Amino acid sequence: QQQVKQSPQSLIVQKGGISIINCAYENTAFDYFPWYQQFPGKGPALLIAIRPDVSEKKEGRFTISFNKSAKQFSLHIMDSQPGDSATYFCAASSPTTSGTYKYIFGTGTRLKVLA
Amino acid sequence: DVKVTQSSRYLVKRTGEKVFLECVQDMDHENMFWYRQDPGLGLRLIYFSYDVKMKEKGDIPEGYSVSREKKERFSLILESASTNQTSMYLCASRVGTRLSKQYFGPGTRLTVT
């Protein structure tokens, strides 16, 4: 119930192609869904996020699609570039017993974009 | 921009040693978090703190403790380090509201031999 399942584990895409990473969850208490991008040697950084009352959010080449009934959300990277090569984590925000919120992270997808 | 700093980038300790990992944030955030990152397992929450001296267990708290005596500083303690605690440790902080952005430090690569 507290898991976020992420696939694929790794992805290789040609430059200019579309990268798609999928996540699924079970817990309907999850109410905010960010994506984080991590380059080697760095900590993860927020890329884009979506609330469950919205079905799609787009920021530049990055789009989140959200399907509330299926409890699935995905990240699409259009016109993928070698500079997008990184590890991507989906996450879901979960309320805690102390009244704050914590993120449950997926297992990560290592994306490599070939030049 | 928000800065989250961690005391060491790399650390090598021996089995049984007591290990302290320090994290400092400069934006007056209420919430601070400690994660460990392992290949194929993603980011797993060890402990978090929602206020000074207040803490809550995450998903994998066994073998760890934490301390938060000041708002800006959150320490992770390995009471008796073991080889299965060899990992990348990431600290994060954010404001306590639901939709707030979470900021991560650069990580500490801990090796226990």
Q: How far off is chain A from B101, nearest CA to CA, in Å? A: 7
Chain B's closest residue to A50, CA to CA, is B99
Judge whether B83 lies within some domain: yes
Residue A78 CB-half CA count within 13 A: 8
What domain range is A94 assigned to?
4-114
pLDDT tens digits along A50-94: 998 999 999 999 999 999 999 999 999 999 999 999 999 999 998
Judge whether B111 lies within some domain: no
- Encoding tokens for residue A63? 């789009």
Q: Is the CB of A103 less than 8 angstroms away from the CB of B45?
A: yes
**Number of structural domains chain A divides into:** 1
Q: How confident is the model over B107-113, as a mean pLDDT?
A: 97
What domain range is B55 assigned to?
4-106
Q: How far off is chain A from B82, nearest CA to CA, in Å? A: 23
| pLDDT level of residue B98 (50, 70, 90 thresholds) | confident
pLDDT higher than 90, residue A96? no
- Encoding tokens for residue B46? 């060890």
Question: Which of A17-21, A30-34, A59-63, A77-81 is the least confident region?
Answer: A30-34
What string of H, E and C letters represents the secondary structure of B26-56?
CCCCCEEEEEEEECCCEEEEEEEEEECCEEE
- Encoding tokens for residue A54? 């919205």
- Is omega for the bond preceding A34 within 30 degrees of 0, making it cis? no
| pLDDT level of residue A1 (50, 70, 90 thresholds) | low
- The residue ranges of DSSP E strands in chain A, in sequence order, are 4-7, 10-14, 19-25, 33-38, 45-50, 56-59, 62-67, 72-77, 86-95, 101-105, 109-114
CATH of the domain at B20: 2.60.40.10
| Whether A91 contacts A34, CB under 8 Å | yes
**Number of structural domains chain B divides into:** 1
pLDDT tens digits along B61-91: 999 999 999 999 999 999 999 999 999 999 9
Judge whether B74 lies within some domain: yes
User: What pLDDT is recorded for position A99?
Assistant: 84
Q: Which of B50, B98, B106 sits opposite A43 (nearest CB)?
A: B106
Judge whether B112 lies within some domain: no
- Encoding tokens for residue B92? 């994060």
| Whether B100 contacts A46, CB under 8 Å | no
**What value does the mean pLDDT of chain A take?**
95
> Regarding beta strands B10-13 and B108-112, do their DSSP bridges make them parallel or antiparallel, or are they unpaired?
parallel
Contacts of B97 in chain A (CB under 8 A): 101
- Is omega for the bond preceding A82 within 30 degrees of 0, making it cis? no
Judge whether B113 lies within some domain: no
For residue B20, give Cα distances in angstroms to A78, A105, B7, B81, B93: 42, 25, 9, 10, 18
Q: How far off is chain B from A97, nearest CA to CA, in Å? A: 9
- Encoding tokens for residue A42? 């760095």
CATH of the domain at A24: 2.60.40.10
